[in-house]
Chains A and B, each alone.
Chain A
Amino acid sequence: NAGVTQTPKFQVLKTGQSMTLQCAQDMNHEYMSWYRQDPGMGLRLIHYSVGAGITDQGEVPNGYNVSRSTTEDFPLRLLSAAPSQTSVYFCASTGGTAYEQYFGPGTRLTVT
């Protein structure tokens, strides 16, 4: 089992560029989520999905889109990058008892 994988590990974008952060899991988990981590703010939920074809907004969804065409994949799209989106992004999937979340290794994004 690879668990939760994310690509790329690092990315630098210019303001206005778009890109997609990839996330995949091989544990057959229905629930997947995207967080951003900023110093002093912990992890904030961007979007989540309870299964293929179903997505919903989290705490900080503006500027991000998601889709869930398969159980395995949950990409996060930045439509027009802004410096405020400079952050570390983590994807997670939930399974097992007590809703335990499994995290990917993260993507460090810098927007200049």
Chain B
Amino acid sequence: AQSVSQHNHHVILSEAASLELGCNYSYGGTVNLFWYVQYPGQHLQLLLKYFSGDPLVKGIKGFEAEFIKSKFSFNLRKPSVQWSDTAEYFCAVSYNTDKLIFGTGTRLQVFP
């Protein structure tokens, strides 16, 4: 079955630390990949997306993600996190349809 795995459920970092959140999807074929962010009390917002071209995708607020097809992965990275990055992060995949499959989310807490 199609699925998305996010390995880190809860990540705690200090400000200026580097961040990498893992995301793997279940099998190959043509995929579109997304990272969404949900700040406390708010709805989901798109952070970045990949649908073709350069596998290194840059998003808002200094985030980037790399699509590695051979590993079925789309890990999210940020070189230096800020307190304002405290949020829940969701990886999602669509197999060339409108239907999105979400991971279970990673809660990031950044302490000053």
Chain A interface (Cβ < 8 Å from any Cβ of B): 30-31, 33, 35, 40-45, 48, 50, 58, 90, 94, 97-101, 103-106
Contacts and interface: CB of A to CB of B under 8 A. Distances in A.
B43 A101 contact: no
B97 interface: yes
Contacts of B34: 100-101
Interface in B66-112: 90, 92, 94, 96-100, 102-105
A44 B105 CA distance: 12
A26 to B, nearest CB: 16
Contacts of A31: 98
> Top 10 nearest A-B pairs by Cβ distance?
A98-B51, A31-B98, A42-B104, A43-B102, A103-B44, A98-B32, A94-B98, A103-B43, A42-B102, A99-B94
Given A42-B90, A50-B98, A106-B43, 8 more contacts: A30-B98, A33-B98, A41-B104, A45-B100, A48-B99, A99-B94, A99-B96, A100-B34
Interface of B: 6, 9, 32, 34, 36, 42-46, 49-51, 90, 92, 94, 96-100, 102-105
Contacts of B105: 40, 42
A19 to B, nearest CB: 20
A40 B9 contact: yes
Given A43-B90, A90-B44, A103-B44, A98 B49 contact: yes
Nearest to B91: A42
Contacts of A35: 102
B99 A45 contact: yes
Contact of B46 (A48, A90, A100): A100
